[in-house]
Amino acid sequence: MAVVVGLVDGFPVGAAWYRLFRGSKPGYGFVDERTPELAIAVVPSARGKGVGSALLDALLARAREDGYPSISLSVDRNNAGAIELYQRRGFAQVGEDADSLTMRAALDSTHANEGTDTE
């Protein structure tokens, strides 16, 4: 697990983390047992100010350093701003249910086309 905390004037305004799940107890953005699932939370007063982008970039860098070839997440299908942010960072949809999309991003060139519809 990795945790990144965003601070503004010394006060926490957001956090991002990732963790692995087992197939028998999957998270909402579960892809497989080798792919960590990330989560990001930003306080309402800090949204739209780049905090989420900074947290996401730091977390993706950490996951690369930790040697993970890809990372996944679950996002509310109605959260267009978050979906756009994730797509700009290389995430592609790999699943969906009634309320959310599951997205995955490759973190190294070996797995760059995994989970995309371009294959």
Mean pLDDT of 54-81: 95
Range(s) of the domain holding residue 64: 2-111
CATH code at position 9: 3.40.630.30
pLDDT > 60? residue 115 = no
Structurally, the chain folds into a number of domains equal to 1
Answer yes or no: is 23 within a domain.
yes
Q: Write down the pTM of the prediction.
A: 0.83
Answer yes or no: is 72 within a domain.
yes
Confidence of residue 109 (pLDDT cuts 50, 70, 90): low
Answer yes or no: is 118 within a domain.
no
Answer yes or no: is 57 within a domain.
yes
Interatomic CA distance for residues 11 and 112, integer angstroms: 37
Answer yes or no: is 117 within a domain.
no
Highest mean pLDDT among 5-9, 57-61, 106-110: 57-61
pLDDT > 70? residue 105 = yes
Answer yes or no: is 92 within a domain.
yes
At 35, list the tokens. Answer: 């792919």
Cβ-count burial 75-109 (b if 16+ within 10 Å, e if not): beeeeeebbebbeeebbbbbeeeeebbbbbbbbee
